């Protein structure tokens, strides 16, 4: 059964996640994250979003452009760190599975380099730009207990109603 996505307002989403001490112990969690991400049409998901307080996130590699997909050795990022960020930033629209239907513009570094471990315990490093860099920063925010709506330019936050109407959204 697919795990429910934890929604904005839940304490779990506002606390920093704990490091994973035993990589072998997160294989099932990674599968649950993968299933929840696919079931909810996400492009990334962090463990706190399904109620688990651990430093792990997944990226839907299959949704990335082919040349970007080849750069990413694993869709699972355990104990990730962003080790380098560009000074240049873009303001990009984001949404989140934990704040459904809400979108807003968030300033993000154009390029980042992330380090993490895969499910076999191998350390890897990925230099990313564009969408992948945005995903890394968004998911790392989750691991620090921060939602995108906290970083978004408040005037850009909007909600899309079930009828498809766009209306301002107040945080």
- Domain 11-168, CATH number (from 2.40.10.10, 3.90.45.10, 3.40.720.10, 3.40.50.300): 3.90.45.10
Predicted confidence (pLDDT) per residue in 15-53, tens digit: 999 999 999 899 999 999 999 999 999 999 999 999 999
Which amino acids are annotated catalytic?
Answer: 139
Domain ranges for the chain = 11-168
pTM of the prediction? 0.95
Across 88-111, average pLDDT = 97
- Summarised one tens digit per residue, pLDDT across range 56-70 is 999 999 999 899 899
Question: Is residue 142 within 8 Å of residue 54, measured between CB atoms?
Answer: no
Distance CA 139, CA 154 (A): 20
């Amino acid at each position: 059964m697919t795990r429910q996505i934890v929604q904005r307002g839940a304490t779990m989403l506002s606390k920093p996640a704990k490091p994973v001490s035993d990589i072998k112990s997160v294989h099932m969690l990674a599968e649950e994250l993968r299933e929840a991400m696919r079931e909810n049409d996400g492009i990334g998901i962090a463990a706190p979003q399904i109620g688990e307080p651990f430093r792990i996130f997944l990226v839907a590699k299959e949704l990335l452009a082919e040349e970007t997909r080849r750069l990413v050795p694993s869709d699972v990022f355990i104990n990730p760190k962003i080790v380098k960020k560009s000074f240049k930033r873009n303001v990009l629209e984001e949404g989140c599975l934990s704040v459904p239907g809400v979108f807003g513009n968030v300033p993000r570094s154009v390029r980042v380099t992330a380090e993490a471990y895969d499910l076999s315990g191998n350390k890897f490093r990925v230099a990313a730009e564009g969408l992948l860099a945005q995903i890394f920063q968004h998911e790392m925010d989750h691991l620090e207990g921060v939602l995108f709506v906290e970083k978004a330019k408040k005037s850009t936050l909007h909600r899309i109603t079930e009828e498809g109407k766009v209306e301002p959204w107040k945080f």
